[in-house]
Amino acid sequence: MAELGGGKAPPAPPLARVLPQGENGVGGGAVRVGTRRSQLARIQTDSVVEMLRELYPDVHFEIVAMSTTGDKILDTALSKIGEKSLFTKELENALERNEVDLVVHSLKDLPTSLPPGFTIGAVCKRENPLDAVVFHPKNCGKTLHLLPEKSVIGTSSLRRAAQLKKKFPQLEFRDIRGNLNTRLKKLDEKEDFSAIILAAAGLKRMGWENRIGQLLSPEDCLYAVGQGALAVEVRAKDQEILNMVSALHDADTVLCCIAERAFMKRLEGGCSVPVAVNSMLSDGQLYLTGAVYSLDGSDSLKDTMQTSVNYPQQNEDGPNDDVQHVGITAKNVPGQALQAAENLGVELASLLLSKGAKHILSVARQLNDAR
């Protein structure tokens, strides 16, 4: 990916400015980091804390783990629960109560509109955003094309199921819930599933890359908004912590994810409807492909648009210093580039809406509610 003109993250702010003694519960240099309890969430949080420790070696970081609604409800498909902040609400409550100073999330778990008083202060460099197929040991070496007819594929994602039903009509798709460990155990120890679909990023972070039997290209399966990226959520008015985490921003990832989130927000999408994207930055041009699907994949709309994000970094201190773009505050990325990325997402969604996307999504939502 091309470097943006002036879009690279600046060096970390000086510590004394970042953590004044006694403010915001970080007196004495202790910063509390909230995370979900799952093994993957802990690995992701540890990786962010490790980056912060390298930037701020004198600060003590304390990790506070908690369970979320999404972790507790394991017998219902995510799309059926109807709660936008399934994996984030308890963490945000702790942030609001000043029990933690920042929270690490998978960006795809964060709604496009955050509750008042919060912002995403950092989006870290994205891991591979593609979906991956993990096969039952007896199907090792196969691809989805080679599985016998009526083979059952496990996925809790309407987005994945809609795209793959259309591409592989001979296969059957069934919900599978639980964290990564649980899903892999269900796959390996029972005969219920021939394969399951998971995010490649999570498998890689867990050290299970060797389980990936097939990577699904964007032609096979567009990915979820924000997939593969980690987000650091903070209190919007907590300037010290906001300055501190902003050094973690990856400019390319920020621009791609702002475009994706703006696309989703304009469509009013969520995990209860199949919305999918693919974004790429090359030579100062940001390309966004977005699509909406009916639940069975038979009806869909898909298009691609591009825009220039090649703007120089300007001194933008002042009243607009902390402008949020679909929940993200990124002072160290040129403001014009951020706005162009957001506009791209909105314009692409508007194009699909003008072609009938609202009808496809409302039918998908109704059918999902009736399931």
Q: Are 33 and 45 in contact (CB under 8 A)?
A: yes
pLDDT of amino acid 175: 93
The secondary structure element, H or E, covering residue 241 is helix 239-246
pLDDT of amino acid 271: 66
pLDDT of amino acid 11: 57
Just list the catalytic residues. Answer: 109
Whole-number Å distance between alpha carbons of 131 and 215: 6
Q: Who contacts 93 (Cβ-Cβ below 8 Å, separation ≥6)?
A: none
Strands 152-154 and 195-199: parallel
Query: How many CB atoms neighbour CB 65 within 10 A?
Result: 14
pLDDT of amino acid 116: 92
pLDDT of amino acid 84: 46
Per-residue model confidence as pLDDT tens for the chain (371 residues) = 333 433 445 556 554 434 543 333 344 568 999 998 889 999 999 999 999 999 999 999 999 998 765 444 444 444 444 444 445 778 888 999 999 999 999 999 898 999 999 999 999 999 999 999 999 999 999 999 999 999 999 998 999 999 999 999 999 999 998 889 999 999 999 999 999 999 999 999 999 999 999 999 999 999 999 999 999 999 999 999 999 999 999 999 999 999 999 999 999 876 678 999 999 999 999 999 999 999 999 999 999 999 999 999 876 555 455 799 999 999 899 999 999 999 999 999 999 999 999 999 999 989 988 87
Q: Are 345 and 263 in contact (CB under 8 A)?
A: yes
DSSP string for residues in 263-310: HHHHHT--TTS-EEEEEEEETTEEEEEEEEE-TTSSSEEEEEEEEE--
Of 200, 304, 220, 211, which Cα lies nearest the Cα of 259? 304
Q: Rounded to whole angstroms, what are the CA distances from 203 to 150, 176, 179, 209, 347? A: 26, 16, 11, 6, 33
Phi-psi region of 30 (alpha: psi -120 to 50; beta: other; left: phi over 0): beta
Whole-number Å distance between alpha carbons of 361 and 266: 12
Runs of H (alpha helix) within 125-199: 158-167, 180-189
DSSP string for residues in 319-338: TTTT--BTTB--TTS-HHHH
Domains (ranges, CATH) in the chain?
31-128+226-313+324-370 (3.30.160.40), 131-215 (3.40.190.10)
Phi, psi of 310, rounded to the nearest 5 degrees: -90, 75
Q: What is the dihedral of CA 143, 167, 126, 275, to 10 degrees?
A: -150
Using CB atoms within 10 Å of the CB of residue 89, give its burial: 0 to 12 exposed, 13 to 18 middle, 19+ buried. middle
Q: Rounded to whole angstroms, what are the CA distances from 177 to 75, 76, 117, 124, 198? A: 7, 7, 32, 27, 11
Residue appearing with tokens 């936008």 = 84
Q: Who contacts 239 (Cβ-Cβ below 8 Å, separation ≥6)?
A: none
Residue appearing with tokens 């050094």 = 247
pLDDT of amino acid 313: 83
Q: Are 37 and 67 in contact (CB under 8 A)?
A: yes
